[in-house]
Amino acid sequence: MFQDITTLLLDPKAFKDTVDIFVDRYRDMDISVVASISLTCSVVSDDEQKCWVFV
């Protein structure tokens, strides 16, 4: 399912709050890799300090 997050990306506080919610939700789950694939962008991260975006 496609969800347009353009308006979220345009609001720095709302974007930070959303990321913080995800971090809090999954912090204790020992997740080492997060990957997402779409027609427009792929985001791959191996920790909170590194993020690679392929467009």
State the pLDDT at residue 13.
94
On the question of pLDDT at 9 being above 90, the answer is: no
pLDDT band (50, 70, 90) for residue 55? very low
pLDDT band (50, 70, 90) for residue 3? confident
pTM, full prediction: 0.53
Tokens representing 34? 């997060």
Q: Which of 55, 18, 22 is nearest to 38 (CA)?
A: 55
Higher pLDDT, 34 or 28: 28
Residue 33 · residue 42 · CB < 8 Å: no
